[in-house]
Structure 1
Amino acid sequence: MNRLARQSLLLAGLLLPVLPLAAQHVDHAGHGASHARDPMAAAIAAPSRTPANVARDKYRHPAETLAFFGVRPDQTVVEYSPSGGWYTEILAPLLSAKGTFYALQPVGRNLDGYKTFLAAKPDVYGKVKLVPFPDQLSLIPAGSVDTLLTFRNIHNMVMNGTEAATFKSFYDLLKPGGILGVVDHRLPEARDSALEKTSGYLKVSTIRRLAQAAGFEYVGSSEINANPKDTADWEKGVWTLPPTLRNGEVDKARYLAIGESDRMTLKFRKPAS
């Protein structure tokens, strides 16, 4: 092998390790561009989200759930009873540029705590429109909302007897053709309905009945948030499981292995006519 050939081989060997680094750089750039093109992915990946909430994505599946409900960054969206702000951490940045986000928080149910949550990050939550419910419901114009979401709240309405009035409010807020998205703990249909008043679980048929009585059309369901490990027969109700873990350290490992509750994900529509 002549001298020129040896130099060429040596130069090629020195360059080889550079190529994966260049490819890696392209991948990172592409990932950032992907988030820029996908506002939902960017909102879910927002650095303002708390790590404890991010850890629950595997149970709550925010990207798939919001996609199922048809949430877009240019919509007017209401979340009923955002409480601790789990979904606010995603919806606020998602809707901040082109949409409107109303947080419809019941009076007396962590309203002050939610105000504190919003005030802690004004750069992220400064555009959130907090509306105490039902006292200031009129702050949201009737018939102006594209999508109304409620996550794990209808069982509370059923337990305190406010379900009919609250569903009517939902109906009035939505535009014709607007979507009501519901996620809640699922009670098997064969169980005693009396459990709906104490366990935190509800039957799918119960929520469908409430929505349809208010005038909504049933669109469909998804198993995005299902958990077949949850038997829904716990002595202390759904709060036995994480994240509440009402039994404390007793059998904690067992409940953590089961994970969060089995949840129904239901979609309803206000008739367009």
Structure 2
Amino acid sequence: MIRLICLTTLLLGSFVAVIADDHDHSAALKKAAEGDHRSDAHKARNQHRHPVETLSFFGIKPNMTVVEVSPGGSAWYSEILAPFLREEGKLYLAGYDVNDKREYVVKNREKLAQKLADNPDVYDKVQVTEFNPPKKKGIAPEGSVDMVLTFRNTHGWMRGGIAPNAFEIFYKVLKPGGVLGVVQHRADPNIEAEARPSGGYVNQDYLIKMAEHAGFILVASSEINANPKDTKDHPKGVWSLPPTYADGDEHKAKFEKIGESDRMTLKFVKP
């Protein structure tokens, strides 16, 4: 009887420790998401993008090696990942090919570099690599990564015909058991899937099949970033919605009421 009580106490203690550990991670993520290094405009979007809940769902821990793919010039999620991983983990930002001379690419590459240089207390340990799926360049050493993250990028890769190569690259850099976390604008499931979506919305089943074809296993999905108000039939696709308002001021009030796009949140694992 005494042994049973001791075992129960031990198991309960371990369970409490796990809960406390998860709580500590959430607190650290929240601190990073609300940090002074972030602009008020970026912090205001926390309510729409749910970064703490999203990263917690993916199972991120501060001692992980993580790749964020295509962070863009604003590096919105990088602002949270960098301080969270700075002391115990490692963050790779898989950015643009340095040989890509397109104006948009050059502008965002320079913007990202300047952002990192301006705040070494946050970004001094971040390592920027190149993401160029056609050339299959390494975004990190093969088999060295615990987690790969991509936020609202898959539609662009699909339009460019490079999505299958992208998922192959993610698979190669991850360790066995490593996680691929995907957030993406979600298309109406009743509309036929597009291989190269023009409006930014991607069919969820289509995306899952692409990841599975690369070898991944879908282990969980979440409605953290769902928005049932999004009708997905806007004149300029997801870019009609905030924060872009691509249609201008004429229908801005309408799109403000809808909010940001409906998004799938998917967690894959490399077996």
Q: TM-score range by the shorter chain?
A: 0.7 to 0.9
1:247 lines up with 2:209 in the alignment: no
1:192 lines up with 2:181 in the alignment: no
2:157 equivalent in structure 1: 157
1:116 equivalent in structure 2: 114
Relative to structure 1, the CA distance from residue 62 to residue 36 in structure 2 (aligned partners, 3 Å threshold; closer, same or farther) is: closer
**Offset, 1:66:** 0.2
Contact 2:62 2:89 in 1 (8 A): yes
| Larger Rg belongs to | 1
The equivalent position to 1:50 in structure 2, one of 29, 33, 39, is 39
1:99 lines up with 2:89 in the alignment: yes
The alignment partner of 1:38 has SS state of: helix
2:53 equivalent in structure 1: 64
State the Cα deviation string for residues 58-91 of structure 1 (Å, max 9, x = none): 1100110000000111100000001121001100
**Offset, 1:137:** 3.9
Amino acid at match of 2:121: D
Identity of aligned residues (%): 46
Amino acid at match of 1:118: L
Flag structure 1 segments of 5+ consecutive residues without an equivalent: 1-33
- RMSD over aligned Cα atoms: 1.9
Contact 1:73 1:94 in 2 (8 A): yes
TM-score, normalization: structure 1? 0.83
Amino acid at match of 2:254: R
Contact 1:36 1:42 in 2 (8 A): no
Relative to structure 1, the CA distance from residue 220 to residue 136 in structure 2 (aligned partners, 3 Å threshold; closer, same or farther) is: closer
The alignment partner of 1:193 has SS state of: coil
Q: What aligned pairs does 1:119-198 form with structure 2 within 5 A after superposition?
A: 119-134=117-132, 137-138=137-138, 140-194=140-194, 196-198=196-198
Amino acid at match of 1:265: T
Relative to structure 1, the CA distance from residue 137 to residue 128 in structure 2 (aligned partners, 3 Å threshold; closer, same or farther) is: farther
